Amino acid sequence: MNNQELLSTVTQTAKMWLSETYDQETRDQVQAMLENEDHTDLINSFYRTLEFGTGGLRGIMGAGTNRMNIYTVGAATQGLSNYLKLAFSDLPVIKVAIGHDCRNNSRKFAEASARIFSANGFQVYLFEDLRPTPELSFAIRELGCQSGIILTASHNPKQYNGYKAYWDDGSQIVAPHDEGIVAEVGKVKVENILWNGSDDNIHILGKAFDQQFIEKTTSVIINPEVVKKQHDLKIVFTPIHGTGVMIVPQTLAAAGFTNIIHVPEQDVVSGDFPTVISPNPEEPAAMEMAMNKARETGADMVMATDPDADRIGVCTTNDKGEWIIINGNQTALLFLYYIITQYKKLGKLKGNEYVVKTIVTSELIADIARKNNIEYFDCYTGFKFIAEVIRENEGKKKYIGGGEESFGFLPSDFVRDKDAVSSCVLMAEIAAWAKDQGLSLYELLKNIYLEYGFSKERMKYIVREGQQGAIEIENMMKGFRSQPPAILGGSKLELVKDYTTLKTKNLLTGAEEKIDQKITSDVLQFFTVDGTKISVRPSGTEPKIKFYIEVKAALKSKADFDDVNAATSQKIDQVMNDLVQ
């Protein structure tokens, strides 16, 4: 389709949004786009329908088929309702739970969804105000709901919002229900949406339910004695304007920690995220205010949660006294090392325990599991796949932890999505345990590397916005598949894993093997002869192509740490240059 044809098509679609089916504010926005000589906003708002994918909806807020607004949210909710009626036709009443974060329009979208579910005859549990994503997952399980949704765009910039759908086990939806819901949502037209449900079917969840969640969350503590000894550990915590603002400090206090230091400017709940460009604890700029507070107060550690409190950011001091962010791979490494170490020490290992990581997460975690005779599972990126592993092993094996490189961890299975609330409690315990031995989290990491080997990981990404950007990302993936790089970081490429075909090919021998996954995914992995691992995939929620690079090296002593760290960092830069020349 050429540009003129595209403009004609989007213009016709946009004019349909001028009918009285849509509210006046929406019509005014669409009319302004139609009258603007610059057609960029018009095209980007209407060139496609914002896809309800297997992870729900996520997009920029505004009028249009490709935007997050009351109509795209309404269609998603009606389509989900239609599917739930089919899937649970034997139940007299279908129950759903609804949560939302701090973002602009999140409450509006949540209340609209509650009325739609109610109009479809469901019993609805709506949180009274913003709440963390893990609490929504907990609510679905605790209240015996068949589904749930949360309005959030996680750590995306302020112009975004999103809609995540959950199944009756509290996990985000996976096969076969994902495709069924997508199909039902695709059938919905605006005139099919049941907007006006009775408030009698909507039950408000408030502070009494929070207490149930907090009580359950404190159960992740493994060694209460170390918390008692180091209860006054100085913890700086920031919610970065989001849902962790009350629940995380309350939970840390309930767990026994008595010295929680706030960052007042970031305790302000706001969808505009006034102190940061991006409310992402992976970004140093988002953590700077908390690290400054730690410098001022002589704190032992910093913890942060993203706007919906499912991701945890952790900061510590290095051996030069500088505050640094512990990356997501290192965070998962600390969690799983501590859990396994403490379970062994306390005699809690019964032989049926297992851990889970995603395919793009550090292989060092697999090494630790293997060396401790703990079973581990690899799954696709996204906690719905970790939750799927938990569901398949329920009643047979014991889950003791799982994580991914993007600052997500789940310490216990009473929640079935990444859980920064529980993770903050457990990470505080880990820091207390380390301090009890005279160690910082940084020194603890060094000890782990000495015992199990050194690994350096970094995620890089390239952003390509809009329709043209999507085409560019697709072409990049095609290029990597048709002509993978022969040399990466000075090392010959040995293995290529293509998750669209579920095949591994050894480029040195020509041998092929099947990858043990149920479904395909648009992910490529390259493994070089020296153990370097590169994963490439388009983001499912953002206009990005992501590169996950892991380089391994020998670490013989702590004295060598800085040199090894610098050398592997340079190698990662070289690998990235080889990938994108």
Residues that are catalytic: 154
Contact 134, 150 (CB under 8 A): no
Computed over its alpha carbons, how large is the radius of gyration of the chain? Answer: 24
Residue 524: which residues within 8 A CB-CB, separation 6 or more? 477, 480, 481, 484, 496, 497, 498, 499, 535, 536, 537
DSSP string, 15-70: HHTTSTTS-HHHHHHHHHHHH-S--HHHHHHHSS----BTTBEEEEBSSSTTSBSH
Amino acid at 564: V
| Interatomic CA distance for residues 99 and 111, integer angstroms | 10
- Decide the pairing of beta strands 491-498 and 454-463: unpaired
Distance CA 84, CA 194 (A): 15
Measure Cα distances from 256 to 135, 213, 407, 425 in Å: 20, 16, 24, 10
The count of other CB atoms within 10 Å of the CB of residue 286 is: 24
Which among 101, 34, 366 is positioned nearest to 243, based on CA atoms? 101
Furthest CA-CA distance within the chain: 72
Tokens standing for 418? 């990444």
Residues shown for the chain: 581
CB-CB contact of 425 with 251 (8 Å): yes
Question: For every residue of 375-418, which 3-state class applies, written as one string?
Answer: EEEEECCCHHHHHHHHHHHCCCCEEEEEEECCCEEECCCCCCCC
The CA-CA-CA angle for residues 160, 309, 147, to 5°, reads 80
How far, CA to CA in Å, does 62 sit from each of 16, 100, 161? 16, 18, 10
CA distance 142 to 136: 10
Residue 117 — φ and ψ, nearest 5°? -60, -45
